Structure 1
Amino acid sequence: MDIGISTFVWVSPFSSASFDILQKAKDIGYDVIEIAVEDRELIDWEALLKTCRNLGLKVTVSGAFGMDRDISSERPEIRANGLSYIIDCLEIANELESPVFGGPLYAAVGKTRLVSEAQKRQEREWCLENLHLAVRRAEVLGVTLALEPLNRFETDMINTIDQAIALVDEVKNDRLKILLDTFHSNIEEKDIPASILKLGDRLVHIQANENDRGTPGTGHLDWLGIRDALQTIGYQGSLVIETFGAPSKELARAASIWRPLAASADELAGEGFEFLKKTFCGRAAPLSG
């Protein structure tokens, strides 16, 4: 199983000036770097692909869904911008040879309100309309959309695995599957291993985060149960640490990041890798460099 780490651990937004973290990830031993696309104009994509290839790093791509990238918004121009962003990221994922593009595709992070059932139904219809369009492009590019449930404090739309399954199954396309983030599941699911078993082959990507979004292995998550459930369903994707070492103001507000989550990003990356490698791959690889 490949072990990965998100650029969010070190920097936000990721840019060409941040390419040094690719070498850091490789030196620690990571197989995968997850590129968080906040502003595509900040990144030299050709140079990024060349650097990752030279380092032997695989790539996955994740999204940053601010309020102007909401495919279920009441405002049609925002829905259009959200769809355009998803399609742009699918193109980027294809270029970087990423098998997935993941995130809360359905709405903006931080959009939390108590709304009527009629409004919920309408927003769901707008979401479905745009997801159907997005999967058509995903089919052409050979990239899978990975829809991520978020906890109740970050979205009012898709919080649980059951809600995610219902939405994905309604689209009925193999290019739309589910991303499970163990941080969010710790809040919303009664039993994370059981949730993994329920997902089965709908599960295409894992963000392996501790219950407090700190270093994996330092909290109370049932990592052995998670490992055994993944083995049971034959999961073949990556395990990626995604936490926030230096969040932008918008990201900090949306994800409620008000304090450091570890002594340093480098420490979290190194210790988190050692834990995940030992737990999920049966051995801990020594740090190099």
Structure 2
Amino acid sequence: MKIGVNTWVWTSPFTTADFDLIPKIGRMGFDVLEVALDDPGLIDAPLLRKAAADNGLAITVCGAFGPTRDIASEDAAIRANGANYIRSSIAFTEAVGSTLFSGPVYSAVGKTRMVPEAQKKREWAWCVETLQDIAGAAMDAGVTVGIEPLNRFESDMVNLTEQALALIDDVGSSAYGIHIDTFHANIEEKSIPEAIRAAGKRLVHVHACENDRGIPGSGHQDWKGIRDALAEIEYDGALVIESFTPGAVEIAKAASIWRPLAPSQDELASAGANYLRNLFG
């Protein structure tokens, strides 16, 4: 199993000036560097590709969806901006030699409201239309887009794996797959292992997060059940530790990281990697 870590563990936004993290991540024994893509313009993609390769790291890319990148917005200009961000993220993903871009692509993180059913259907339709338009670019780039359900406090649109599967079915393109984050799933799913089994071969990415986003293995997640379900569906993607610093610009409020979750961010990453490696090894 390939074990990875997201750059949000240490910094936001991740920029070329932060590439000194890459050798450290390699020394910690990770297999995958996950780039949190707050702003593609802040990162030298060719240099990143080389730096990751020099340190034996594959790359995955995770999107940051603030209110100006909401493809389900009533404002057509915001929807267009969100679509442009996804397209530029797909291009960035291809440029760094990766085949996976993922995140809550369908809406803005922190968008939580009680709205009439008719409005929900309009927002869903805008989202489907945009993802259909983008599908060709993803396929041309050889990039799969992972759709990540969020918990109810961060989104009112897609909270469950079954909702993400329904969205993919409505879009009707093999460019999309399921991205399960165990932090969100711990809140929303009746059973994370069963959600994994429901995703099946359409599961393309996993964020391996403890129930409090602290060190994996230090909380109450059903890690053995998660491991067994992933083995059952023959999952061959990455397990990426995702946590945050309080300064995460695009999602700071929604992530609600108000206190240290480990003695240090380095320990959160390294101890989490050791736990996952032993569990899945």
The aligned amino acid for 1:255 is A
Paired position in structure 1 for 2:272: 272
Corresponding position: 1:124 with 2:124: yes
8 A Cα contact 2:38 2:250, kept in partner: no
Separation (CA, whole Å) in 2 of partners of 1:97 and 1:266: 26
* Aligned partners of 2:207 and 2:241 also within 8 Å: yes
Aligned counterpart, 1:151: 151
**Greater shift in the superposed pair: 104-113 or 40-49:** 40-49
Identity %: 53
- Aligned counterparts, 1:43-82, within 5 A: 43-82=43-82
In structure 1, the partner of 2:221 is: 221
- Give the residue type in structure 2 aligned to 1:4: G
Shift of 1:247: 2.8
Calculate the aligned-residue CA RMSD, in Å. Answer: 0.9
What is the SS of the residue equivalent to 1:260?
coil
Counterparts of 1:41 and 1:170, CA distance in 2: 32
Deviation at 1:249, TM superposition (A): 5.0
Query: After the TM superposition, which residues 61-210 of structure 1 pair with which residues of structure 2 at under 5 Å, given as runs?
Result: 61-210=61-210
2:149–2:161 Cα contact (<8 Å) kept: yes
Please tell me the residue identity of whatever aligns with 1:20.
D
Measure how far apart 1:83 and its partner are.
0.4
- Which residue number corresponds to residue 245 of structure 1? 245
Report which stretch shifted further, 241-250 or 229-238: 241-250
Distance 2:233 2:189 in 1: 18
The worse-fitting range, judged by mean Cα deviation, of 218-227 and 243-252 is 243-252
Structure 1 match to 2:9: 9
Q: Which residue of 2 aligns with 1:29?
A: 29
Give the match's secondary structure for 2:178.
strand
Moved beyond 6 Å, runs of 4+: none
Q: Distance in 1 between matches of 2:139 and 2:86?
A: 13
Partner-residue secondary structure (3-state), 1:68: helix
Q: Which residue of 2 aligns with 1:285?
A: none
Q: Secondary structure at the match of 2:12?
A: coil
What is the Cα deviation at residue 264 of structure 1?
0.9
Q: Is the 8 A contact 1:32 1:59 kept in 2?
A: yes
Output the TM-score relative to the length of structure 1. 0.95
Name whichever of 46-55 and 271-280 sits farther off: 46-55
Report deviation, 1:262.
1.3
Q: Paired residue for 2:254? A: 254
Cα deviation 1:214-269 (Å, max 9, x = unaligned): 11000001101100000000101000001003433552212222212111100101
Which has the higher mean CA deviation after the structures are superposed, 89-98 or 142-151?
Answer: 89-98
Instruction: Return the alpha-carbon distance in structure 2 between the equivalents of residues 266 and 255 of structure 1.
Output: 19
Counterpart code for 1:57: L
Once the 2 structures are TM-superposed, how far is the Cα of residue 44 of structure 1 from its aligned partner?
Answer: 1.4
SS of the equivalent of 1:220 reads coil
- Distance (whole Å) between structure 1 residues aligned to residue 195 and residue 77 of structure 2: 36
Paired residues, what number?
281
Q: Deviations over 1:48-105 (max 9, x none)?
A: 1111111111000010001000000000000000000001000011111212100000
Secondary structure of 1:254's counterpart equals helix
Specify the code of the residue in structure 2 equivalent to 1:221.
Q
Instruction: Give the match for residue 230 of structure 1.
Output: 230
The alignment's TM-score, normalised by the length of structure 2, stands at 0.98
The amino acid of 2:116's aligned partner reads S
Unaligned 5+ residue runs, structure 1?
282-289
Which string of whole-angstrom CA distances, capped at 9 and with x for unpartnered residues, describes residues 146-165 of structure 1?
Answer: 00000000000000111111
Can you list the C-alpha shifts for 1:151-204, whole angstroms capped at 9, x where unaligned? 000000000111111111111211101100000000000110011111101100
